[in-house]
Amino acid sequence: MEKDIKISFHNYGFRSFITVNLCQECPRQDNKGCCGLYSPVFYPTDFAYWLDKKPELINFILNLPNITILNTSITVNSPPDGEGYRCPMHSLESGCLLAQKLRESICRYFVCPGLYWQDELKLSRWKDFFEQIFEHEITINNTIAAKMQSENLSLRVPEQRSACFEFMKKMVLELTAAMPEMFTTLPKHEEFWIRRELAFGKQWLL
């Protein structure tokens, strides 16, 4: 079965994201799609944004029952659900409980491999954009991790967490003060239509 699919690119600097209209009728037909195969990991850039826009998310995540806390990151481990898993932040009624810009980078950028949108020449500049921003964010988070290690700060220590989050916010502001040129060379929003052959159930790869 072939289908015309709309893919939309949203340029919000380090909180940019991709949306696809296929998600509402996911070919996996299991009411969870990609949210059943991945446990989100949140890093300093995410915590800094939360502190600015929705600080209560910090305590929400810390109080979830099955999380892994490392020095500068928190993984929300997905519990078993049927033959796979389900992200704790996925709702059967509305999908992800987090607004797009509040999600971590994988969740903001992921598009089903079956759409192979990166092969479209007309989308090449967006492919480059998201590759660059992904690498840039990794560099920022690694820089903060190294600095926190040198300061003997770790999220593993409950008494240090407030100081850790504030330190992350301060460093993210410093490291993103000069925005990369790529953020200004692309529009805030652009959408395209691509036609693809769909498969269903487990035949649709994630």
pLDDT, tens only, 94-119? 789 999 999 999 999 999 999 999 99
Residue 58's pLDDT is 96
Strand partners, 192: 7
pLDDT, tens only, 136-188? 999 999 999 999 999 999 999 999 999 999 999 999 999 998 878 888 899 99
pTM: 0.93
Q: Domain span at residue 78?
A: 2-203
Contact 61, 67 (CB under 8 A): yes
Which bin fits 80, alpha (ψ -120 to 50), beta or left (φ > 0)?
beta
Residue 197's pLDDT is 94
C-alpha to C-alpha distance for 3 and 42, rounded to whole angstroms: 34
The count of structural domains within the chain is: 1
Residue 43's pLDDT is 98
Which two structure tokens, joined as six digits, stand for 129?
């954009």
- pLDDT of residue 205 exceeding 90, the answer is no
* pLDDT-based confidence at residue 33 (cuts at 50, 70, 90): confident
pLDDT, tens only, 45-59? 999 999 999 999 999
- For 90, what's the count of Cα atoms within 13 Å in the CB-facing half-sphere? 21
* pLDDT-based confidence at residue 81 (cuts at 50, 70, 90): confident
Average pLDDT over the chain, rounded to an integer: 94
Residue 183's pLDDT is 87
